[in-house]
Structure 1
Amino acid sequence: MANILDYLDWRGDLTLAQDPFNEVDNLILAELSFVDFGGIVPGPGGGRAVPLWKAAEAYFAKTEGRPIDMGVLVPNQIPELLRRTAASPRFRDMKLNGFVDHLDTVKAEQFAALAAECGDGTVYLSFRGTDDTLAGWKEDFYLSCMREVPAQKMAVAYTEAMAHQYPRIKLRLGGHSKGGNLAVWAGVFCPTAVQRRIAAVWSNDGPGFHDDILSLPRHIRLAERIHTIVPKSSVVGMLLEHEEDYTVVDSSQQGLMQHDGFSWAVLGNRFVRLHSVTRQARLTDQELRGWVQGLTIEQREKFVDSAFQVLEASGAQTLTDLKADSFKAVRPMVRALKDLDKETREALLKFMSILFMSNLRMTLEGIQEETEKSLLRNGKKAERSAGKKG
């Protein structure tokens, strides 16, 4: 299957004047906010925008001589994505500005964003999804039990600040994973005058929201401009509640790994669409929602705190730390798990079993689907061959 890197090879020579901004462009800019542009791209109100090609040169000069590891769950193709966008007429002259990167491990706060002047009279505000840090993942889990997590509040403030920096210019908001959730949240809760200037909001497999958010007049006003994209076996993007209209796309991966935007199938200037998410994804979604809704808000918060208490007992601050020292991490994590009360420990184990079994079942379902496709292709080849012989 072709992906966003292939798209840059195929259509990167077409400017936005020749072929208008599309959903694939959105995912590319959403992924670029994972790049650490600190010291390269100015923050909000901090200086002149930097052409993308120039920012890429500075980034690779800064990282020259050492491997670029994006972490356990952040795709390592992102530096290559930056390299190809910097070489493409479609993206190279876009100007980057407003880069922020905030991390507070004590308060479990993680927020990063980037503004791209697209050159077609719009600015794309790219909100970074969850990175490699445990703090970022803890904040994600708080989405189920807090009215507003710190990153959502920062996303609203960032949108307002960049709207002030770019007056009278149309805005696009987007992000992948948690970044998609932040984009929608910022679009819903930014000042009304700013909301009117939003041309589109893109949530690329981002978690949803509580029911009461979807029924707000502020959300209803924006709903037709919100574009939600999920892969066929989406788990992350189907968490909590979503707008009814979402696009399901094909993926080259199986199970939870379909969350990786580099696995999404591209044809021309759009993703390859499917009619719906898989049956197993729907069942897992129902099982997770049922489990979450069976807990009170207080129980959810206690669960999140306890889960990360176990992870942080290892001394790790990132998922990469956990992976690198997995053997050393196990013993303190087991001790921390034993210290939990029985109810919390059972809740944590139940949650892990749902995710583990769902990933296994989705993977098997994906293998079965690919096998059936292969048999169908081989059958058609055999028919054509028999026809030629006849």
Structure 2
Amino acid sequence: MANLMDYLDWRGDLTLDQAPFNEVDNLILAELSFVDFQGIVPGVGEGEGVPLAEAGEAFFARFPEGEKIDMGVLVPDVIPEMLGKMAASRRFGSVKLNCFTDHLDVGRGEQFAALTIETGDGLLYLSFRGTDDTLAGWKEDFELACMPEVPAQKKALRYVRDVAKQYPRRRLRLGGHSKGGNLAVYAGVFCPAAVQRRIEAVWSNDGPGFHEDLLDLPEHRRVAERIYSIVPKSSVVGMLLEHEEDYAVVDSDQLGFMQHDGFSWQVMGDHFVTLRQVTRQARLSDMALREWVRAMPVERREKFVAALFDVLSASGAVTLKDLKADSFKAAGAMVKAMKDLDKETRDGLLNFVGLLFKSNLLMTLEGIQEETEKRRAVRKKAAKKKEEEA
């Protein structure tokens, strides 16, 4: 099956005038905000947009020719290659990039980055970066489960207001992958009504949901029909908390948690290959995680998240790459930090890790079984056809 990279080969020669913006374009632009355009693309209010081909050339000039660009432990390493294909294409090469912002505060556990793309069809796509390699970014992901609002959401809302002011007559698309999808929806719901009326679509690509009260607000109802939620068949991240029930389920060539990688989502023409619903194990995992969250009072959740990231950062690591680079030292520091926790918090951490491990294992096994049954069906069909021809 095909993916985002194949799509760029197929559709890269078609401008948005020739083939209108679609859900696959959305995910590509959502992934684009993972590129570090600091010093290349102007910030909000700092000047005119830069053609993507020019920005790509400046980005690649930072690295020795032929060097593999390391995006971190979990951010797909194929993103620079995607940027190269976009820069060489008629579809994306001449679109302009602007309003790049990248904020990281390790001490406060804050991570936020966004990019605005002038797509060439008269609209803007505001791309919110999802969870990157920083522990601060992961901490904010977990805080979504225990706080009514996290710093990145406030920054996303301010970003939409500022960009809308800078481009007063443009209609808007908002989108992101993972946490970026949550930020796009949050900003779309709470931006001023005048800005909200300019929003054409809000895309959440396997982004975590919200607490129940947000879905009942009039602000959400005003934009609900323009929110498009997409999750892979074994989604975990995108099924967390409450979310729009009218979501699309896409097929993936990965198993378990690895389906969160948007480059594993299957593409046919100008759309994703969709399924009727998420897998049975994804639904069970979703229920188990929700029950775990709901059973814990808000104060305990806050304490749990703080303890979890105290343990992870005990070695002095700032990113997941840091943890991986000196895993022996990191493991020793984390074990010591675990011992310093009270029993209730330590048991909670172990239960949570066990729940995630079990969920991933069961979804992986479910995926293997599904692939085995598919291959068996293909062989059976081929054998029947051969028999009929004989």
Q: Deviations over 1:277-317 (max 9, x none)?
A: 00000000000000000000000000000001111112211
Q: What's 1:56 paired with?
A: 56
Q: What's 1:150 paired with?
A: 151
Q: What's 1:28 paired with?
A: 28
**Counterpart Cα distance in 1 of 2:97 and 2:265:** 25
1:64: how far off? 2.7
Structure 2 segments unaligned to the other structure (5+ residues): none
1:200: how far off? 0.1
Paired amino acid for 1:33: S
**Counterpart Cα distance in 2 of 1:336 and 1:229:** 38
Please list, as runs of the form range in 1=range in 2, the aligned pairs for 1:91-102 lying within 5 A after superposition: 91-102=92-103
Q: How many residues align?
A: 389
Paired amino acid for 1:366: G
Q: What's 2:231 paired with?
A: 230
**Counterpart Cα distance in 2 of 1:309 and 1:73:** 20
Paired amino acid for 1:223: A
Q: Which moved more, 1:221-230 or 1:136-145?
A: 136-145
**Counterpart Cα distance in 2 of 1:333 and 1:33:** 32
Q: Deviations over 1:220-258 (max 9, x none)?
A: 110000000000000000000001100000000000000
Please list, as runs of the form range in 1=range in 2, the aligned pairs for 1:1-390 lying within 5 A after superposition: 1-65=1-65, 66-389=67-390
**Counterpart Cα distance in 2 of 1:372 and 1:271:** 22
1:175: how far off? 0.2
4+ residue segments displaced more than 3 Å: none
Structure 1 segments unaligned to the other structure (5+ residues): none
1:67: how far off? 3.1
1:368: how far off? 0.2
Secondary structure in structure 2 of the residue aligned to 1:125: strand
Q: Deviations over 1:127-146 (max 9, x none)?
A: 00010000110111111111
**Counterpart Cα distance in 1 of 2:143 and 2:134:** 15
Paired amino acid for 2:211: H
Paired amino acid for 2:75: V
1:23: how far off? 0.2
Paired amino acid for 2:251: D
Secondary structure in structure 2 of the residue aligned to 1:16: coil
Secondary structure in structure 1 of the residue aligned to 2:315: coil
Secondary structure in structure 2 of the residue aligned to 1:90: coil
TM-score when scaled to structure 1?
0.99
Secondary structure in structure 2 of the residue aligned to 1:144: coil
1:63: how far off? 2.1
1:3: how far off? 0.3
1:122: how far off? 0.2
- Give the fraction of aligned pairs with identical amino acids, expressed as a percent: 69
- Alpha-carbon RMSD: 0.7
